[in-house]
Structure 1
Amino acid sequence: MAGRRCLLAMLLLLAALGPVQATPLDSAPFDSALDLVTGNDFAPFTGEDLPEGGLLTEIVRRAFGEVGLRYEVRFMPWRRGYDGVLAGKFLGTFPYVRTPDREMEMLFSDPLLEVRQLVYLSTHSGMVFRTPEDFRGRTVCAPVGYALPAELAELAAAGALSRESPADLPACVRMVASGRVDAFVIDEFTGRSAVAKAMAGDEIRLAPLPYARAGQHLILSRSLPEAAAILAAFNVGLRKLKDGGSFEEILRRHLSAAP
């Protein structure tokens, strides 16, 4: 417990220092048994089969490293990882977009990356997309552990659209490609990679208008006493990573290898 209090104090000091050169925390008298957790099938951002575990896995590790913190990253189903963070089995998880429900349970880092959310439509569906209201009466796919955009979540809660929730994103791609559902909404990089991997380019079309822009975040449970201090230190490391030029190099390397 004394070690945890020491770490908390050092993290708060680091957060207060902001971009000033901070003392590495490698020697902090605290040995966390908690790992970070993320999921698969989210290329180019996260995945056991991707270089460095994916673009955002490398960014999270490198940002923590900038402030002298080291955490292992484990891969498992998204819902299991999220629930494990809530239960205190894992330190945090990523990448997640903000939703009202998640903000009740989790604290969010600064954005790891901002991305465009696009609408991927079945060529077997006559659906067009201009506004979220175009989803009314349609069926949308979002895997277990994935959040619908807020407007679509409200439509689903009101029974104005149907949601299919298979175990993973590849299943959503297959369902849209077959015409079983009308659409799925996801960031442009993950969507492009998933459609290419499924070789479903002839069955899936892209809506001309993007749905929205969204930030991807590292999240920690609000019930973790040092969560705010750890995220403050992480944000310092993320700023250092971006200001030093390493961030752009990581982006170029991962995105150049993506489909």
Structure 2
Amino acid sequence: MPARTLICLFLSLALCTSALAAPLRLVTGDDYAPFTGKALPAGGMLTQVVRAALQRSSIDSSLDWQPWNRGYLKTLRGQYDATFPYVRTPQREEVFLYSEPLFIAEQHIFSRAGEVIEVDDVSSMQGRRLCYPLGWQPPPIIQQLLDDGQLNRHSPAGLNECARLLLMDRDDFFISDRRLGETALQLTGVPSERFRRSNSAISSSTLHLIVPRSHPQAAVIIAQFNQGLAQLRANGDYQRMLDRHQQQGESATP
């Protein structure tokens, strides 16, 4: 190997090491139980997964809490190194690199008991009021209904407010991962019999840690994070974390 190539390789490795020597600046948002939340144990299920994966790769990290849109934009501008958890969209993929999946989420429709709204019955959604938090990307079938003016969207700051608005009859349904939706409804303090979850999932999506493509060490961060995440899965720690948070959520149910 030519001497110049060896020197370039050495300098590249040195830059990678120095770039990750400082704590990785993470940001996420609140009120996304059980995945993230200031008041949740360890900051939520996926907060614990992310930080544990970084620790397995010997990467120190700091964590800030910001409103979702603000944290996303600050990460894009380089004020944070990474943010989570986010689903894939074509627009985001243009400007962010994605980690391996943190979690596979199945999206269900949540409505009031007695009001049957199902994925395979589009007419049951037409003319309804959808509550879908600000910044969330709707599934394609829902986006089409919105674009066609057949569905009205209300976008509060978080899913917990959607659960309350559903209870108050100000919105007709919301869409979320099963765990997220059931947790939000539990937090209303109202018996679960007052609500209905669709029989089938409207879509499935994966949640990820994302790093701006403009970050000088984006590929290195993603590669090392993925290595740590793989170790968590291989030794069973990942599943134990998920199970622990599920048990904590059940014990906290009113």
The normalised TM-score by structure 2 is 0.85
**For 1:244, which of 224, 232, 235 is the aligned residue?**
235
Matches within 5 A, 1:67-216: 67-123=57-113, 126-131=115-120, 133-134=122-123, 135-200=125-190, 201-216=192-207
Residues 178-222 of structure 1: CA deviation (Å, up to 9, x unaligned): 222221111111111110011243442111222222211111122
Report the identity percentage: 36
Deviation string 1:65-123 (CA, Å, 9 cap, x unpaired) is 11111111111211111111111111111111112222233221110111221110134
State the distance in 2 between where 1:55 and 1:181 align: 28
CA 132–227 in structure 1, closer or farther in 2 if over 3 Å, else same? farther
Comparing 201-210 and 238-247, the one that deviates more: 201-210
Unaligned segments of structure 1, at least 5 residues = 13-24
Secondary structure in 2 aligned to 1:35?
strand
Q: 1:151 to 1:127 in 2, by over 3 A?
A: same
In structure 1, give the amino acid aligned to 2:118. F
Change (3 A) 1:101 1:113: same
Question: Is the Cα–Cα contact under 8 Å of residues 7 and 30 in structure 1 kept in the other structure?
Answer: no
Cα deviation digits, residues 117-146 of structure 1 (max 9, x gap): 11101347x452133734333221111122
Distance in 2, matches of 1:11 and 1:244, equals 31
Gaps of at least 5 residues in structure 2 are 1-8
1:9 correspondence with 2:13: yes
Partner of 1:43 in structure 2?
A: 33
CA RMSD after TM alignment: 2.4
Answer yes or no: is the 8 Å Cα contact 2:23–2:60 preserved in 1: no
**What is the TM-score of this pair, normalised by structure 1?**
0.83
Residue identity matched to 1:114: I
Q: Would the aligned equivalents of 2:23 and 2:61 in 1 still touch at CA under 8 Å?
A: no
Q: Distance in 2 between matches of 1:114 and 1:10?
A: 35
Worse-superposed segment, 197-206 or 238-247: 197-206
Alignment partner, residue 58 of structure 1 = 48
Alignment coverage as a number of residue pairs: 240
Q: Is the 8 A contact 1:123 1:177 kept in 2?
A: no
- C-alpha separation in 1, matches of 2:10 and 2:75: 22
Question: Quick check: 1:115–1:188 contact (8 Å CA) kept in 2?
Answer: yes
**CA 1:86–1:132 in structure 2 vs 1: closer, same or farther (change >3 Å)?**
farther
Is the contact between residue 111 and residue 217 of structure 1 (CA under 8 Å) also seen in structure 2?
yes
Q: Are residues 129 and 29 of structure 1, via their aligned partners in 2, closer, same or farther at CA, if it must alter by over 3 Å? A: closer
Contact kept? 2:23, 2:62, Cα under 8 Å: no
Residues 37-68 of structure 1: per-residue CA shift (max 9 Å, x gap): 11111111111111111111111011111111
Query: Structure 1 10/192 Cα, relative in aligned 2: closer, same or farther at 3 Å?
Result: farther
Which residue number in structure 1 is paired with residue 4 of structure 2?
none
Instruction: Give the C-alpha shift of residue 225 in structure 1.
Output: 2.5
Does the aligned pair in 2 maintain the 1:34–1:91 contact within 8 Å? yes
- Residue 5 of structure 2 is matched in structure 1 by none
CA–CA distance in structure 1, aligned partners of residues 227 and 15 of structure 2: 10
Q: Is the 8 A contact 2:22 2:60 kept in 1?
A: no
